[in-house]
Structure 1
Amino acid sequence: MPKPLFFLVLLVSNLRIQAQSATVFPQEYFRNPLGVPIQLSANFGEIRKDHFHMGLDIRTKQRENLPVYAAAGGFISRISIQRYGYGKAIYIQHPNGFTTVYGHLNGYYDTLSHYIIQKQYTDKQWEQDITFSPGQFPVEKGQFIAWSGNTGSSGGPHLHFEIRDTRTGKNLNPLLFGMEVEDNIPPVLEGLYWFDRRYSTYQTSPKPIAIVNNKGSYQLKGGGDTLHIGSPRISFGVRAEDRTNSSSFLFGIYEAGLWMDDSLRCYFQVNNFSYPDSRYVNGSIDYATFLHTGKGIQHLSRLPGNELSIYNTDDNNGVISLTDTLPHTVRILLKDVEGNSTVMQYMVRYDSTLQEDLFFTMNSVAVPPNQPYNINEQEVKASFDAFAFYDIVPFVLGQQPRQQWPQASSQALLHNENVPVHDMYTVQLPLQPVAANYTDRLVMQLQSGRYRLYQKAQPASNGWFSGSFNRLGNVQLLVDTVPPSITPIGWKDNQVFTTQSSIRVRCSDNIDEVRNFNAYLDGQWILFTHSTYDYIYTFDEHCTLGEHVLSVSVQDLAGNTSVREFNFIKKEPNGNNKRRK
């Protein structure tokens, strides 16, 4: 019979003591990094492609260029400027042992900006990753440091904000530091699932359990309280969302736990892990479901190859053995940072008449986690390390012959895209004679579902070429002799610029994106920034009034290079064309 309500209240209040020791973080030390009330569009720990979201996304009223302020005193220890990722970012190290990060910025405050631009011209490189000593750029709490923006891999204007442990580099949930986000709404259990753990999670699919949500009270659909299961070895998964009072967005859950017969089986708290370990998200969810539907079913168990430190499990890693046909009590708890919680309780019972047996595909090889795996065939070699897989993979290897130009090898079919790979593996393919004269223009392509990834093919030995990837799929060598294109956007050769503030150039490639870009104004390197598909030069003191020659050079992954020259005239709006000294 279900336990009385007071047990559930006690369970919730003592959860941290039972599952994980809680660290008390300083409250009110960090201020809101914006000058507007905090409204979130994403929280810490949300499930993303190949990673957990590692900070807060704070809304900027759908606008760019809001002032960004230092959350606390300290010094700017690092800035980074990159095409993807956080675009323009600032890192501030604080004396209390934490570092704050501010991402997707449009620009920096003047003193810092001048320093960075000077270094970009010295390095002849737009992308930067600069570290500073404590005395170079000290800041006070509330000091203006940057303008918010939409740079890097950003889907819209916002500020990405993180708090890290300076010593370990691990990311912490900023909401644990007393950031002002009103929240008295408990998490929502969107879906409940069970897995037949007689088999690998890559051999079976999650089986949905029909539930009913009656104003936050969750029950099995149909009125009964017992779930009949056709396997003696199972685990559970949940699809859950959280909300806050001030935002309509849906967020990831902070804590979840599973008990059977009052015994803790699995518990996780999404906090305190590093960026490299964030890729373990692929072992914390049903990967195939997320890949194809975007729905994150989170395991209430730890897969054998998942080394993420957020879990606290029993000796069976949360996998439940039903050794009899008696009913057993299952309790699932979801919890957010503010302590709002959702509990569902039901009974589970093994029923052998519902059992469905499965078998590995005849041409598959069972590849276990925590062991290296090597493929050494006539047309393909591959090497996976011991950390590659989270569960047993029924690995199927296939091959398709070369079809037509520019294919330069047969195609190796490395299982399929539904199984994640934790880190990089190496694959080698033999070059076919038809492409023997193009060894300096070879790329290796991985087709993984809807994704296409490319690597510059590296010579291995005896006519073989290698590349490295972290997804499974179809791999093949290609010859690329087509140089990238260079197209002026919104202007043309011999243009007269009067009121325009910038020059925009679009560069594209037939296979992959452009890898190297350089521009020279009258023979001198000039700073172009990168925005999505385009490169942009904003007129400054390096472009005086008068006639100029702009030379743009781009190179693709294979090494093909294009160069275009453009003539233009820079005039003042009133027509005065006197060259400035």
Structure 2
Amino acid sequence: MARCTGLILIIISALYISTPLSRAQYQYPQWDFHMPLDIDLVVSGSFGELRGSHFHSGVDFTTHGKTGLPIFAIDDGYVFRIAVSPVGFGKAIYVNHPNGFSSVYAHVEWFSERIEEIVTNIQYQKESFAIDESFAPGEIPVKRGELIAYSGNSGSSGGPHLHFEIRETDTQKPINVHFFDFPVKDDVPPHIEAVVIYPLDEQSRINGKNEPLYLPVVFHSGRFHLRGNPAIEASGQIGVGIETLDYFTGSWRKCGVYSIQLHVDEQPWFKSRLDGFLFSQTRYLNSHIDFKRRRTHRQVIQKSFLDENNQLDIYQTGATRGVVAMTPGETRQFHYRVKDAAGNLSQLIFNIRGTTPPRMPEVSAAPKMETLHPARAWSSSFGDFAVSFPANSFYTRVEAEFQINPNPGVGIGQHFSMLNENIPIHQFFEITLPIPDQYITHQRLTAARIGNNGSLIYAGGTRRGNQMVVRTRDAGTYFLVVDETPPTLRILNIPAGRNYSNRDAIRVDIRDNFSGIASYRATINGEWALFEYDPKNNLLIGFFDKFRINKDQRHTLEIVATDNVGNETRLSTDFIY
């Protein structure tokens, strides 16, 4: 392989290449599925896209700002699950097909008339808007192309669209929907935004510093380049990462890429590929990316090296796990190949020159830190405070500091600060906070933590004698607070005389200023009534066609809302319908 000497300027070449992948390159058989929507399919969110602390498990098809578009079963089968929730997927329908695949349709507005009746009956039987029901093969059969629902914006959706998935029926493992030949136009190659060079131990240096080096990428003259063609020198063990995204033809939405492949000195070094993933592994996204940089700079860097405890199975890598050892005087070539699921390819090539590690300066002793190993459980007490981590809580070894601080005028008692909020935590762990004697019997005591902007974030907690135990996956500063403010309820747009005969629904504003709504119950004339909860819009909506009341009469509505600490609010009103 070619070698260079001296201080080398980065040599970069990159090409946009569109090379559709053949079906043979996929491990899943192809099926002639019916389209889930009767419109041109435009993707606004791709499979495997990096979302919060999880990979996107399907594709989002835009409905162009509209709700109520018909949704069709993609093949013969039967409905095996229906879930209705105020959050997450909202209203979702799950269909098993005889070919070994399942399809999922989420954030729908309502179901087909036949299925909607089944769902409403279950909701009244259970006296709950939120349900999650399973069905046997013969209960709700569906045919290919049958209308099963209408598109919407339910649950945690950020705007009208259809979230659509294909899963393996046996494992419920989501499969890359782009494999299945739905007519989605995509001739736009991925875009490379930046690369980052990481020192992976205390002795490593990047351009003389023991800190990551962020290098923006630009596209000109038909190729990607590092902006300014900077020279890079490194010593010791290093890793690299890439910031990249993808677009679909006719859409401005930023989506995720399918595969990232890194060659070092023309040798395959590291590859990630999103054919599918297990839901049990999706939180390892926090190890797949540079968690700290996303939190501090809002930039999503996908690392091309593995943390010690990254158990995600989307990688192909040898014994190096993506780590590159730099040799003084040797220049190594790094070649990125980034593809989307349509086979469109973008490339970036750059060189890094190895240098002699600098003499390490003497440093003063650091404060005593606790060493937490990724695969081991760890517990300790700090005065009246305690913390307990189960095994596999971390992705790498963590040097942690725990502090008990005086109350700065917020909350009750001392504050307990732990770890660094830039460290991702995989498992739920427990923090134990002591309850001061004067609050032992207080019924509205709970825990909180400090948010990024200094705000208070509800943390919950369970009483154990004179202690409050918080179960969380967030580092930060925790303390006790009292919440005695109940939720608020307010009927919106009340018609004259409270006569709703020409209205489709009663809409109620529902809010809580801290711990959030834990439950609500609506009754009409003393009998449970179905009200849908839309927390993103602070709404309860009761549709008259779902009420089981006699028409042209006066009725009494009562709603009771309770927050997560137990504060309660009641609203009562008469209306005519």
The TM-score normalised by the length of structure 2 is 0.90
Q: 1:211 to 1:59 in 2, by over 3 A?
A: closer
Shift of residue 181 of structure 1? 1.4
Aligned residue type for 1:231: S
Match of 1:539 in 2: 544
Match of 2:376 in 1: 371
Aligned residue type for 1:291: R
Which moved further from structure 2: 477-486 or 266-275?
477-486
Shift of residue 139 of structure 1? 0.9
The answer as to whether partners of 2:416 and 2:478 remain within 8 angstroms in 1 is yes
1:567 lines up with 2:574 in the alignment: yes
SS in 1 for 2:235: coil
Match of 1:464 in 2: 467
Which moved further from structure 2: 62-71 or 26-35?
26-35
Q: 1:409 to 1:97 in 2, by over 3 A?
A: farther
Equivalent position to 2:149, from 146, 151, 156: 146
1:154-553 correspondence to structure 2 within 5 Å: 154-199=157-202, 206-222=212-228, 227-352=231-356, 361-402=366-407, 407-438=411-442, 440-450=443-453, 453-461=457-465, 463-491=466-494, 495-531=498-534, 532=536, 533-540=538-545, 542-543=548-549, 544-553=551-560
> Cα deviation per residue 1:372-413 (whole Å; 9 max; x = unaligned)?
2223111321111221111222312122234558x3432111
SS in 1 for 2:322: coil
Give, in whole Å, the separation in 2 of the partners of 1:471 and 1:200. Answer: 30
Match of 2:136 in 1: 133
The answer as to whether partners of 2:193 and 2:216 remain within 8 angstroms in 1 is no
Q: 1:355 to 1:65 in 2, by over 3 A?
A: farther
Q: 1:87 to 1:205 in 2, by over 3 A?
A: farther
Give, in whole Å, the separation in 2 of the partners of 1:211 and 1:113. Answer: 51
Give, in whole Å, the separation in 2 of the partners of 1:472 and 1:114. Answer: 45
SS in 1 for 2:154: coil
Q: 1:481 to 1:398 in 2, by over 3 A?
A: same
Equivalent position to 1:556, from 554, 563, 568: 563
Structure 2, gaps ≥5 residues long: 4-13
Aligned residue type for 2:511: S
Q: Output the aligned Cα RMSD.
A: 2.9
> Cα deviation per residue 1:229-255 (whole Å; 9 max; x = unaligned)?
233110000001112223222211110
Of all paired residues, the percent bearing the same amino acid is 28
> Cα deviation per residue 1:528-548 (whole Å; 9 max; x = unaligned)?
001231111111352322211
The answer as to whether partners of 2:405 and 2:415 remain within 8 angstroms in 1 is yes
Give, in whole Å, the separation in 2 of the partners of 1:289 and 1:23. Answer: 33
- The higher relative CO (CA closer than 8 Å, separation ≥ 6) is in 2
1:106 lines up with 2:109 in the alignment: yes
Give, in whole Å, the separation in 2 of the partners of 1:431 and 1:200. Answer: 45
Which moved further from structure 2: 451-460 or 119-128?
451-460
The answer as to whether partners of 1:383 and 1:427 remain within 8 angstroms in 2 is yes
Equivalent position to 1:57, from 57, 60, 78: 60
Aligned residue type for 1:562: T
Give, in whole Å, the separation in 1 of the partners of 2:426 and 2:484. Answer: 33
The answer as to whether partners of 1:267 and 1:300 remain within 8 angstroms in 2 is yes
Give, in whole Å, the separation in 2 of the partners of 1:77 and 1:242. Answer: 34
Match of 1:80 in 2: 83
Q: 1:210 to 1:539 in 2, by over 3 A?
A: closer
Shift of residue 222 of structure 1? 4.3
Q: How many residues are matched?
A: 556
Shift of residue 364 of structure 1? 3.0
Give, in whole Å, the separation in 2 of the partners of 1:409 and 1:216. Answer: 61
Aligned residue type for 2:434: P
Structure 1, gaps ≥5 residues long: 571-581
> Cα deviation per residue 1:30-61 (whole Å; 9 max; x = unaligned)?
23210001101110111111111111000112
Q: 1:362 to 1:97 in 2, by over 3 A?
A: same
Match of 1:24 in 2: 27
Match of 2:6 in 1: none
